[in-house]
Amino acid sequence: MLQIQDTIVSLDLLERFFCCDLAKCKGQCCIDGDAGAPITEEERRKIEEILPEIIDDLLPAGRRVIEENGVAYVDEEGDLVTQIVDGGNCVFTYYGEDGTCMCAIEKACREGRIDFLKPASCHLYPVRLKEYPTFTAVNYHRWKICKCAETLGRREGLRVYEFLRGPLTARFGEDWYRELELTAKEYLDWKAKDETN
């Protein structure tokens, strides 16, 4: 673990490789799982605000779940998460012509219809944050469906923290990311030298 400002960062972010391979995984992370994406109360309010702009892009089953239960619920662990459809799809998914599962919120943002890209937990994935009273834990979440992303990341030479430069900077700021980048370089250089001795 590394301390970067008021965060504790898992070494997995520096050591592991990652680059989403949507052509292979088809957006499986928005389909699999036993709960929706973690969101904040502020994000729930934002989603409710933009809902009229995205509702027509959602699957009929997703629209029905939202109409009956709202956009989010509190899961078994006490976290606020997006609703899911039939124990699978996030309610905000839609499918492209090639069968790839995508985010209707992100689609609307990229089309300029809304100013909210998507929940931070989705933007930061495969990183998961855990808030503690005095620090934030920044961890890498390994999931078998992302094996192809690890393979592509290794092929491209892209580590988790590099793949997530934009989302991590958006969440923690430029200074934080620069400090992480410098620390990562020093750590990886040291590790490489240690392994050759």
Q: Are residues 91 and 167 in the same domain?
A: no
What region does 173 belong to: left with phi over 0, alpha with psi -120 to 50, or beta?
Answer: left
Q: Which of 72, 101, 125 is the last residue of a domain?
A: 125
| 13/37 same-domain check | no
* pLDDT score at 108: 95
If asked whether residues 139 and 121 sit together in one domain, one would say no
Asked whether residue 121 falls in the same domain as residue 30, the answer is yes
Same domain as 85, residue 151: no
The reply to whether 167 and 196 lie within a common domain is yes
Res 39: pLDDT: 93
Type of residue found at 58 = L
Q: Which residues of the chain have pLDDT under 50?
A: none
Same domain? For 100 and 37 the reply is yes
**Based on the domain organization, do 33 and 75 belong to the same domain?**
yes
Instruction: Supply the range of the domain harboring residue 48.
Output: 26-125
DSSP type of residue 126: T
Domain termination residue (choose one: 125, 147, 181): 125
Examine the domain organization and report whether 101 and 191 are in the same domain: no
pTM of the model: 0.85
Count of the separate structural domains present in the chain: 2
The per-residue pLDDT for 197 is: 61
* pLDDT tens digits along 136-165: 999 999 888 889 999 999 999 999 999 999
Q: Which of these three, 75, 92, 125, is where a domain ends?
A: 125
Question: Is the domain of 110 the same as that of 43?
Answer: yes
pLDDT of residue 31: 78
Residues 35 and 11 both lie in one domain: no
At a CB cut-off of 8 Å and minimum separation 6, what does 37 contact?
Answer: 81, 82, 90, 119, 121, 122
Q: Do 105 and 39 belong to one domain?
A: yes
Rounded to the nearest 5°, which phi and psi values hold at 129?
-105, 145
